[in-house]
């Protein structure tokens, strides 16, 4: 089955996570199916990754790794690709022959958008993470990239998934240099209060259209919960 056939399921899972966090009335059965649904999407993503990685010649570029962490999170949730992510992807394209590039994605992002990067031939490898977290599903997935002397990291979000993944990488690669590149890393905490508010409204729009109004659980000045808040 084509990966595109799972896009609606992935979007529903992404939407359900927002509903749970903000206290919308969510059916208990839906909560119970949440983990099983993600596991299914992981298998779909793995099959697609295996097909596309194996279909391309393997590279032996061991000096520099560029890690793109959850590059589509902001675009999927809020409709816009930040300039930092555009710079990251442009650098990956520019340095294809000099650096090895690795996509770090969760299965939801991968199925909704990130799979296109592999079809483009943009990445040499993929590391899948827990949903909305910077923790790899399997630490062994990092092993093929241990030969690099330098690891450069960018993506979403600063202080959350991005930093979590960087810490995991430091533990896995204790003898190599690891650096988060500021110009490639999106920090939505720098938004104004008004921008933060409209980010959340945009993300929750599908639920609001179904008349699921949230109970006020946070103060207006505290409104900011991008995907990846949980690690």
pLDDT in tens, 155-213: 999 999 999 999 999 999 999 999 999 999 999 877 656 666 666 665 665 544 434 43
pLDDT at 18 over 60: no
100 pLDDT above the threshold of 70 = yes
CA distance linking residue 21 with residue 185, whole number of Å: 25
Kindly list the domain boundaries of the chain, sorted by start residue. Answer: 1-231
Long-range (24+ apart) CB contacts under 8 A made by 212-215 are 212/19, 212/24, 212/25, 214/22, 214/23, 214/24, 215/23
Overall average pLDDT of the 212-223 stretch: 38
* Alpha-carbon span 36 to 42, nearest angstrom: 10
- Model pLDDT for residues 118-163, shown as the tens digit of each residue: 999 999 999 999 998 999 999 999 999 999 999 999 999 999 999 9
User: Of 188, 212, 211, which is closest to residue 198 (Cα–Cα)?
Assistant: 188
Q: Mean pLDDT across the stretch 105-111?
A: 96
Architecture of domain 1-231: 3-Layer(aba) Sandwich (3.40)
Look at residue 180 in the predicted model and tell me its pLDDT.
97
**pLDDT band at 220; cut points 50, 70, 90:** very low
Write out pLDDT tens, residues 47-92.
999 998 876 666 555 589 999 999 999 998 888 899 999 999 999 9
């Amino acid at each position: 089955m084509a990966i595109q056939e799972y896009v609606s399921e992935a979007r529903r899972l992404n939407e359900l996570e927002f509903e749970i966090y903000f206290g919308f009335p969510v059916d208990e059965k839906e909560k119970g199916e949440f983990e099983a649904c993600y596991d299914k999407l992981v298998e779909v993503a793995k099959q697609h990754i295996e097909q596309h990685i194996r279909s391309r010649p393997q590279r032996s570029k061991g000096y520099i790794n560029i890690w793109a962490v959850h590059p589509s999170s902001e675009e999927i949730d809020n409709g816009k690709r930040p300039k930092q992510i555009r710079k990251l992807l442009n650098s990956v394209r520019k340095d294809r022959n000099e650096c090895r590039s690795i996509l770090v994605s969760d299965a939801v992002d991968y199925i909704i958008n990130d799979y296109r990067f592999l079809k483009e031939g943009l990445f040499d490898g993929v590391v899948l993470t827990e949903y909305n977290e910077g923790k790899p599903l399997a630490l062994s997935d990092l092993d093929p990239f241990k030969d690099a002397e330098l690891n450069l990291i960018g993506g979403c979000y600063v202080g959350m998934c991005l930093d979590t993944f960087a810490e995991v990488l430091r533990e896995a690669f204790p003898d190599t240099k690891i650096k988060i590149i500021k110009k490639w890393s999106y920090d939505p905490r720098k938004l104004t209060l008004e921008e933060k508010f409209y980010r959340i409204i945009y993300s929750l729009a599908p639920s609001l259209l179904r008349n699921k109004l949230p109970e006020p659980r946070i103060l207006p000045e505290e409104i900011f919960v991008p995907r990846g808040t949980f690690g």
